[in-house]
Amino acid sequence: MSEIESVYRSRYREFLRVATAIVGDEATAHDAVQDAFAQALKQRASFRGDGPLEAWIWRVVVNAARGARRRQVARREVPEDADATASTNGEGRDESGVRAWVAALPERQRLVVYLRYYADLDYRAIATVLEIEVGTVSATLSAAHRALRRSLEEVRR
């Protein structure tokens, strides 16, 4: 079994979940994941080994999902800034405010959140996937957490 196939078989569901969070529906997300892995297979030779292979694959999947979402925006006339999380499987009220918090995040911060909590990647892996510094990941999550804490405390008052 190739490394890429192994990553696919063991982590498909996490890839699908992150892609679904980005794209907004599971069928399109599955398509993006499948295309991304096909892309990874074709461009395996271009992986430079400057980080974990899985992080490189995550990057390909995230790019594919973002591309799918962009096309979906055009096809389905979804407002550009409508957040993908609005169409996920969530049910019930947003009592904690977390959904609103996620929806309000800039795309980059939102991707960091998805990769941290849905894919359970560590800061270094997230940095590799998004091609940003580890410190930027840390700062992004800290800023996002601060924003959430403020909003929660405001609600409590």
Residues of this chain, 8-37, that bind other proteins according to CB under 8 A: 8-14, 16-17, 20-21, 26, 30, 34-37
Distance between CA atoms of 5 and 12, rounded to whole angstroms?
Answer: 10
Site string for other proteins, 114-133 (x = CB under 8 A): ---xx-xx--------xxxx
Check binding of 150 to other proteins (CB under 8 A). no
Check binding of 155 to other proteins (CB under 8 A). no
Check binding of 96 to other proteins (CB under 8 A). yes
Buried b / exposed e along 65-85 (16+ C-beta atoms within 10 A): bbebbeebeeeeebeeeebbb
Number of H helices, E strands in the chain: 7, 0
Tally of CA atoms within 13 A in the half-sphere of 113 that contains its CB: 20
Check binding of 98 to other proteins (CB under 8 A). yes
Distance in Å, CB of 9 to other proteins, minimum: 6
Residues 36-55 interacting with other proteins (rule: CB under 8 A): 36-43, 46-47
